[in-house]
Amino acid sequence: MIAGLEEITDGTIAINGRVVNDLPASKRELSMVFQSYALYPHMTVRKNLAFGLQNLKMDRAEIERRVDEAARILQIEPLLHRKPRQLSGGQKQRVAIGRSIVREPQLFLFDEPLSNLDAELRVQMRVELASLYERLKTTMIYVTHDQVEAMTLATRIVVLRAGRIEQVGTPEELYTKPANLFVAGFIGSPKINMFDATVTGTGADRKLNLGDFGTYPLPPELAEGHERMTVCVRPEAIKLDSGSVQAEGRVRLVEYLGSETIVHVDLPSGTPLIFQTHQMEKHRVGEVVRVGYDPADQHLFDADGQRLMLGETLVA
Amino acid sequence: MKNTKARNASGYMFLTPWLLGFFLLAIGPILVSLYLSFTRYDMVGDPRWTGFDNYIYMFTRDRRFWKTLEVTFHYVLFAVPLRLIMALSVAMLLDKGLRTIGLYRAIFYLPSLLGASIAIAILWRQLFSIDGVVNQVLAVVGIQGVGWITNPSTSIYTLIILAIWQFGAPMLIFLAGLRGIPRDLYEAADIDGTSRFRKFYAITLPMLAPVVFFNLVLQIIEAFKIFSPAFIISNGTGGPADSLLVYTVYLFNEAFKFFRMGYASALAWVLLLIIGLFTALAFATSKYWVHYENERD
């Protein structure tokens, strides 16, 4: 829709303040990098890069200059005479990006550009895209299912589910103040811990009952009227043998990653819990451990999965 | 070892019907016709060996041979490209994701199913006769028609129009080819502001080149072998004034009308060489214009 390849049924799309609803794709001054690269297989890399510029009836020397410049930036100069089938996945992706760059657009659209690459190359290209952004400083709209890409590349993230916006914010906002359970669960790896809780008592005596973690007071500033809640705690906020709220559990799985270890624990009720530790001590499967957290690190969500705010403001 | 032999034997058993058919009905007659092409054979007596006489006569003294070549080349030169253009045009019109595409495909394919039939050739004769539908329609707009089939200078074009009308088979292949072109390429072209015309010649045609090539070779072969419409429309004579004397009609008449089977066999071998030559030519030029995505370098 932003690119103009599909018509919108409602609302307004503006680029740099200019409403582009009725403009064809080519007049929107944007360029797009496709997941499938969409390179013309019968053309050389040079011709692929020049194709869009030729449509603009641009001077040949200028086309050459822009193609050479893009090739230099993306380090694909030795590949200019090759055809796409002679390129690796990463090289094809560079050419696809190059085709966008040469047009010097006001806006780049990236449609899951790294999805077809293997893990190692994806990390490498991610870094290159970040440096490209630093170099060009042109707005980029980047669609991804990979939250690591989203968190590392974005200045602002829009989380969409089934076509609806769940939250808009900086990576930090999304991580520290997720607007709802979907965002809480989507952002962060390993995944955030979620515990069902009930509220007992009234007024200042209200308490959260979490089952395995027992009962502890609710923050007094929280509005009344919530009987059921979901308490979420990030894996890194869960500590071994510390925290004011604690429970015992049995280690089910240990993922040793070198600099950190991810430990999967089953609580007595069967609820799974994940915690992350940087300590070198080894955990064994079957071992009983005591884990805990501080209520200050918890995120509270109502029965509908919306964040319960404790005097904080949220962009949503 | 014994097992392997037994397995192979059963394999050959299953192959036998095909092998019999291939050797008795294909390879056998081909070799026999090669032999006959060097003989004089009236299908009654024994073939008499005459060496290269048939071929020498064909190229040096048989004027009708050169006439039939002229008619056939004329037909191939027009029918093949025009049918391909028609097929590609309709395929592109149908390649719009219509819901009723199956119906349209069937409708457009119908002439190809009917086209080779005797009935259609007879119908064609009626359509283009002096008082046929074509002339009646022309009369409405004030044009005085001619006897399209009886006029030697126009008769071949009725045959060419029939060929164009039978665009169904190459159209289906083009349609499948068009479906195989990734939509992303057109979307990328749209964002780049590519005109329709440029999208056609810079994306569609090159991407479709293997399919164009395939259709071209098939159509060349088919066009050189045109027989029944020409035979029926010309009442089996190839007339008027040999204007519909396509190669196979001439060959058929030599064999089964004048019982010169030896000479007809020589004609058949020359046709085979001509078709082979044009097919080889198409293959030889293909490296300059056919692009295969998975080609090895």
Going B200 to B203 to B205 to B208, the CA torsion angle's sign is negative
Of A5, A26, A85, the CB nearest to B192: A26
Domain of A290 in residue numbering reads as 175-301
Q: Is residue A316 part of a domain?
A: no
Q: Is A168 helix (H, G, I), strand (E, B) or coil?
A: strand
Domain boundary among A124, A154, A184: A154
Q: Do B193 and A27 touch (CB under 8 A)?
A: yes
Output the DSSP codes for B181-233.
Answer: S-HHHHHHHHHTT--HHHHIIIIIHHHHHHHHHHHHHHHHHHHHT--HHHHHH
pLDDT (0 to 100) of residue B2: 66
Q: d(Cα B12, Cα B208) in Å, to the nearest integer?
A: 40
Tell me how many domains chain B contains: 1
A140 and A201 fall within a common domain: no
Q: Is residue A70 part of a domain?
A: yes
Of B187, B207, B294, the CB nearest to A42: B207
pLDDT (0 to 100) of residue B86: 95
Output the DSSP codes for A116-160.
Answer: TS-HHHHHHHHHHHHHHHHHH--EEEEE-S-HHHHHHH-SSEEEE
Largest CA distance in chain A: 78
A128 and A211 fall within a common domain: no
Q: Tens of pLDDT along B117-171?
A: 777 788 888 888 888 888 888 888 888 878 888 888 889 999 999 889 888 889 9
Whether the predicted interface score ipTM is above 0.90: no
User: Residue B70: in which H helix or E strand, if any?
Assistant: helix B63-94
| Cα dihedral: B230, B231, B237, B239 (round 10) | -20
Q: d(Cα B2, Cα B9) in Å, to the nearest integer?
A: 10
Tell me how many domains chain A contains: 2
Instruction: Give B22 to chain A, closest Cα distance, Å.
Output: 40
Other C-beta atoms within 10 Å of A232: how many? Answer: 22
B 12-41 residues with CB < 8 A to A: none
A200 and A229 fall within a common domain: yes
CATH assignment of the domain containing A72: 3.40.50.300
Establish if B293 touches chain A: CB-CB under 8 angstroms: yes
Q: Tens of pLDDT along A145-194?
A: 888 889 999 999 999 999 899 999 999 999 999 999 999 999 988 999 99
A145 and A190 fall within a common domain: no
A188 and A83 fall within a common domain: no
Instruction: Give B77 to chain A, closest Cα distance, Å.
Output: 28
Of A5, A24, A42, the CB nearest to B291: A42
Q: d(Cα B291, Cα A41) in Å, to the nearest integer?
A: 8
Q: d(Cα A313, Cα B250) in Å, to the nearest integer?
A: 92
A60 burial type by CB count under 10 A (0-12 exposed, 13-18 middle, 19+ buried): exposed
Q: Is residue A315 part of a domain?
A: no
A80 and A130 fall within a common domain: yes
Q: Tens of pLDDT along A247-290?
A: 999 999 999 888 889 999 999 999 999 999 887 777 889 999 99
Considering only CB atoms, which chain A residues are within 8 Å of B290? none
Considering only CB atoms, which chain A residues are within 8 Å of B295? 85
Q: Is residue A306 part of a domain?
A: no
Of B203, B209, B297, the CB nearest to A40: B203
Instruction: Give A13 to chain B, closest Cα distance, Å.
Output: 16
Q: Tens of pLDDT along B53-108?
A: 999 999 999 999 999 999 999 999 999 999 999 999 999 988 877 777 778 878 88
What angle separates helix B168-179 from helix B63-94, to the nearest 10 degrees? 40
**Any long-range contacts for B113-122 (C-beta under 8 Å, 24+ apart)?**
B113/B168, B115/B162, B115/B165, B115/B166, B115/B229, B116/B166, B116/B228, B116/B229, B117/B228, B118/B228, B118/B232, B120/B162, B120/B229, B121/B162, B121/B228, B121/B229, B121/B231, B121/B232, B121/B233, B122/B232
Establish if B195 touches chain A: CB-CB under 8 angstroms: yes
CATH assignment of the domain containing B193: 1.10.3720.10
A147 and A33 fall within a common domain: yes
Beta-carbon-side half-sphere exposure of residue B7 (alpha carbons within 13 Å):
4
Considering only CB atoms, which chain A residues are within 8 Å of B189? 51
* pTM of this structure: 0.78
Q: Is residue A169 part of a domain?
A: no
Q: d(Cα A308, Cα A310) in Å, to the nearest integer?
A: 7
Q: Do A30 and B191 touch (CB under 8 A)?
A: yes
Q: Do B187 and A103 touch (CB under 8 A)?
A: no
Tell me the CA end-to-end span of chain A in Å, nearest whole number.
Answer: 22
pLDDT (0 to 100) of residue A128: 84
Domain of B269 in residue numbering reads as 41-289
Q: Is residue B90 part of a domain?
A: yes
Helix extents (H) in chain A:
45-55, 60-73, 89-101, 119-136, 147-153, 171-176, 181-186
Establish if B203 touches chain A: CB-CB under 8 angstroms: yes
Considering only CB atoms, which chain A residues are within 8 Å of B190? 4-5, 24-26
Q: Is residue A168 part of a domain?
A: no
Q: Tens of pLDDT along B252-281?
A: 999 999 999 999 999 999 999 999 999 999
Q: Please report, in tens digits, the pLDDT of each residue of chain A (316 residues total).
A: 888 888 888 889 888 888 888 888 888 888 899 988 999 999 999 999 999 999 888 899 999 999 999 998 888 999 999 999 999 888 998 899 999 889 888 899 999 888 888 888 888 888 888 888 888 888 999 999 888 889 999 999 999 999 899 999 999 999 999 999 999 999 988 999 999 999 988 877 888 898 899 999 888 777 777 889 999 999 999 998 888 899 999 999 999 888 889 999 999 999 999 999 887 777 889 999 999 999 999 999 998 999 987 655 444 4
A137 and A183 fall within a common domain: no
Establish if B297 touches chain A: CB-CB under 8 angstroms: yes
pLDDT (0 to 100) of residue B54: 96
Q: Is residue B55 part of a domain?
A: yes
Considering only CB atoms, which chain A residues are within 8 Å of B206? 40, 42
Of B190, B206, B295, the CB nearest to A26: B190
Instruction: Give A149 to chain B, closest Cα distance, Å.
Output: 23
B126 in Cβ contact with B132 (< 8 Å): yes
Considering only CB atoms, which chain B residues are within 8 Å of A51? 189, 192, 194, 202
A146 and A251 fall within a common domain: no
CATH assignment of the domain containing A182: 2.40.50.140
